[in-house]
């Protein structure tokens, strides 16, 4: 295990923010991870665990230890007539894992194709796209408890998944390093093509026989055409969560803004498209210094080159305030601001 000092994190976050970490270590095995916990007394230190760095905004140098999770490996555990249990180590690239499952006909995560990042971060915010969230196929996860170096298992219930939420963003925050995730996948696919443009793309391609591969290809095509590629334009995907507001408030706003976009949420609440709110406030495509809101996706904040995390955070706060002023709705970041 090689602990490096004063390392630039620019290559380790998809915003491409150039801040330094006081200490930086890549962990390749469970043994290394446990050693790190016991030898370095991580509880007393300021630590930041990183996977692909695709859901963070680094606003300043990190005066602590960055632990890059590089634990690899995927294995089929067992199966019954209906399901297959597959365990993936936390450092596996999420999309590679999705493709691995599709190749073997293991269904359930095809709609989550091409989401950046690693397997270990997926439960953190219960990643979701095109009508599927990982909670739908989640079995359990294993994590090292930082205080003791011991392994703990979290069931689906223990993870307390919600919309872009889990226990790891709340009471378990900063207490565990996720080492592996076990998924319960379907042998017989349950196709979900009702979200976004999936069906449209399948029709356009003339797909006659639906398969998990065809859905994955459609999702990849849509995502590649819609979202800026972080390798070309630094970003962290959707910066804000879609807010849930009381349905009464939604109905009132709808009288004023007839084209306001909303979806049913928990009883009595409506989920409003944050991108629409931001666009209505005039931010879509607006460039502010080295940053801005993307021209095609108002919800995606971008680094046009050389932006600091503080600059992006200032933009995010200005957007947040203008949405509050215009609609009386508070939008909160989905991205982890460090």
Ligand X SMILES: Cc1cc2nc3c(=O)[nH]c(=O)nc-3n(C[C@H](O)[C@H](O)[C@H](O)COP(=O)(O)OP(=O)(O)OC[C@H]3O[C@@H](n4cnc5c(N)ncnc54)[C@H](O)[C@@H]3O)c2cc1C
Site for ligand X in 233-262 (CB under 6 A): 235-237
309-333 residues labelled b (16+ CB within 10 A) or e (exposed): bebbbebbeebbebbeeebebebeb
Q: Which of 69, 111, 293, 320 binds ligand X (CB under 6 A)?
A: 69
Is the separation of the CB atoms in 151 and 181 below 8 Å?
no
Cα 139 to Cα 186: distance, rounded to the nearest angstrom: 12
- The distance in angstroms from the start CA to the end CA of the chain is 25
Per CB under 6 A, 302 contacts ligand X: no
Per CB under 6 A, 308 contacts ligand X: no
Catalytic annotation, pick one of 54, 180, 238, 293:
238
Per CB under 6 A, 201 contacts ligand X: no
Query: How far is C-alpha 250 from the geometric centre of its chain's CA atoms?
Result: 27
Cα 84 to Cα 76: distance, rounded to the nearest angstrom: 7
Per CB under 6 A, 118 contacts ligand X: yes
User: Which range binds ligand X by CB under 6 A, 2-10, 20-28, 114-122, 313-321?
Assistant: 114-122
By beta-carbon proximity to ligand X, the closer residue of 121 and 277 is: 121
User: Which range binds ligand X by CB under 6 A, 122-130, 250-258, 272-280, 309-317?
Assistant: 122-130
Per CB under 6 A, 309 contacts ligand X: no
Look at residues 246, 239, 241, 263 and name the one whose alpha carbon lies nearest to residue 164: 241
Strand partners, 107: 186
- Is 334 one of the catalytic residues? yes
By beta-carbon proximity to ligand X, the closer residue of 189 and 196 is: 196
Active site residues per annotation:
164, 238, 334
**Contact residues: ligand X, CB under 6 A:** 14, 48-56, 69, 90, 115-118, 120-122, 124-125, 127-129, 177-178, 227, 230, 235-237, 336
């Amino acid at each position: 295990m090689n602990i490096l000092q004063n390392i630039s994190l620019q290559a380790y976050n998809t915003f491409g923010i150039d801040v330094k970490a006081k200490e930086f270590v890549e962990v390749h095995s469970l043994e290394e991870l446990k050693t790190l916990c016991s030898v370095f007394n991580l509880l007393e230190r300021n630590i930041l665990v990183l996977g692909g760095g695709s859901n963070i905004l680094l606003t300043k140098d990190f005066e602590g230890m960055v632990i890059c999770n590089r634990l690899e490996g995927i294995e089929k555990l067992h199966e019954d007539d209906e399901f297959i249990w597959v365990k993936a180590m936390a450092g596996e690239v999420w999309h590679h894992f999705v493709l691995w499952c599709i190749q073997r006909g293991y269904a359930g995560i095809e709609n989550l194709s091409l989401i950046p990042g690693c397997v270990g971060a997926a439960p953190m915010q219960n990643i979701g796209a095109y009508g599927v969230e990982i909670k739908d196929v989640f079995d359990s996860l294993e994590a090292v408890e930082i205080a003791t170096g011991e392994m703990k298992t979290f069931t689906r219930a223990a993870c307390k998944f919600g919309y872009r939420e889990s226990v790891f963003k709340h009471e378990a925050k900063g207490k565990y390093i996720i080492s592996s995730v076990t998924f319960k996948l379907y042998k017989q696919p349950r196709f979900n093509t009702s979200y976004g443009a999936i069906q449209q793309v399948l029709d356009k391609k003339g797909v006659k026989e639906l398969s998990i591969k065809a859905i994955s290809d459609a999702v990849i095509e849509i995502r590649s055409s819609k979202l800026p590629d972080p390798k070309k334009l630094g970003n962290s995907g959707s910066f804000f969560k879609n807010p849930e507001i009381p349905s009464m408030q939604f109905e009132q706003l709808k009288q004023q803004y007839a084209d306001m976009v909303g979806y049913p949420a928990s009883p009595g609440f409506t989920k409003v498209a944050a991108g629409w709110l931001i666009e209505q406030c005039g931010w879509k495509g607006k460039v502010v210094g080295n940053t801005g809101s993307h021209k095609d996706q108002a919800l995606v904040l971008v680094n046009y080159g050389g932006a600091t995390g503080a600059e992006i955070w200032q933009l995010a706060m200005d957007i947040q305030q203008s949405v509050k002023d215009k609609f009386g709705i508070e939008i909160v970041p989905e991205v982890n601001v460090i």
